[in-house]
Amino acid sequence: MNRAGRLYCFDIQIFRKSRVVPIMSLTDKGYRILMKDVIREGDPILRRKVEEVKFPLSDADRNAMDAMMRYLHESQDDELAEKYGLRPGVGISANQVGVDRRMFAVLFTDVMEEENPTLYEYKLFNPKIVSHSAAMTYLPDGEGCLSVDRPVEGIVPRYEKIKLKAYDENGKEILLKLKGYPAIVMQHELDHLNGVMFYDHINENDPQAEPKGVNIQSLW
């Protein structure tokens, strides 16, 4: 082989290598979730109870959770949301991106606190409601969901207060006492892990009817 030929072969190899585009999956480090990754209503994964997370966390579970939290941050950033076509979300559960694990990420401030509202930024694993109030509440404008591309009107009754037990990414127990908006968001996400959609709670015959025999008040 002459020198030019050798160079030629070398170039071909490089060319082939550069053609191998690494196809990342959601469980790889640094993945950016886009709307195409979000599972929409109708898919059975949104309708079944998902699997407990095991500790120590696998790299795949940790990476998926990081990608979910990244989605929330980017979707709430006007510039990035527009650039990547992201629908803003305050919470996302693992099965909404096709990952069969009991975990969700939330990122929001309490809409009821006017000055210096508390930031709720949590990656929660194996979350469970350990106790709740008898009193219920609901968002007067109804709820929305990244997995639902249509507006759904109606009252979604939620416990006004909950105690939520979960684990952080290091397997350390977290106990959260939540009231009002934060309690509503967590119940919406926890429902996903049990295969429940927010509209399952809406009165079919009269969507704006408050449930009877329950102490319930609109959040505002």
Which positions are catalytic?
189
Binding site for Zn ion (CB under 5 A): 145
From residue 16, how far is each of 1, 10, 12, 216 by CA, in Å? 20, 10, 6, 64
Lay out the sheet containing 136-138: strands in order across. 158-159, 136-138, 216-218
Q: Do 154 and 134 contact (CB within 8 A), yes or no?
A: no
Q: Closest-CB residue for Zn ion?
A: 145
CA distance 143 to 115: 24
DSSP letters, 64-127, are: HHHHHHHHHHHHTSHHHHHHHTPPP-SEEEGGGGT--SSEEEEEEE-TT--SSPPEEEEEEEEE
Q: Do 109 and 119 contact (CB within 8 A), yes or no?
A: yes
